[in-house]
Chain A
């Protein structure tokens, strides 16, 4: 059973860059045709897809975040990462990593989420 665990700073200052890591256990980040995704949720609000990395090496980003976003992978550590620059209070949210392992674009496995607050 593949498991995901997010890690990163809980507090980021405005204008700084957020760096989060998702560690994959009981499975290889290099295997299959999976996509490895980041999704966020502001408190009391809905879900927003941020972007994804494919094991093939390609990435897709939410157009609304594309100019500030980088998703990368470290296969040696079985991790993938998110970097979001120029953080503002609007980026305060719980950030989840999730896997899509099928052909229907459904996120079947999620991490527990990590809360990120943007504040000075």
Chain B
């Protein structure tokens, strides 16, 4: 199995901050990497697919980058509705999610 390691597991930030979350794969997954946002009591929502492609309807302040084993999700200017937990997921082989990053209000 290809394992996914996310960091940090949590972070505190203020509205307007630039936030970066990283995800590392245990082996090369090319760009088969997706990012999700999950709010309490809700299903995850797809934000980014193929490492850097923005899902339709997702605000442009969200962006993804990386290939191979190292990937990044960036929120350019954190908004109140962005406080949530974020997960990466590799789709190169048996789907596997990272452990999540909880973004909290500072």
Contacts and interface: CB of A to CB of B under 8 A. Distances in A.
Interface of A: 37, 46-49, 60, 62-63, 96, 98, 100, 102, 104-108, 110-113
Interface string B36-59: 100000111110011001010000
A96 B96 CA distance: 15
A104 B99 contact: no
A23 to B, nearest CB: 15
Given A46-B100, A49-B95, A108-B46, A63 B1 contact: yes
Interface string B1-38: 10000000000000000000000000000001010100
Interface string B92-106: 101111111000000
Q: Is the interface of B mostly helix, strand, loop or mixed?
A: loop
Contacts of B34: 104-107
B102 to A, nearest CB: 11
Interface residues of B, number: 24
13 contacts: A47-B36, A47-B89, A48-B97, A49-B95, A60-B94, A96-B44, A98-B43, A106-B49, A106-B55, A107-B36, A107-B46, A108-B46, A111-B43
Interface string B53-97: 101000000000000000000000000000000010101101111
Most chain B beta-carbon contacts within 10 A, residue among A46, A108, A111, A113? A46
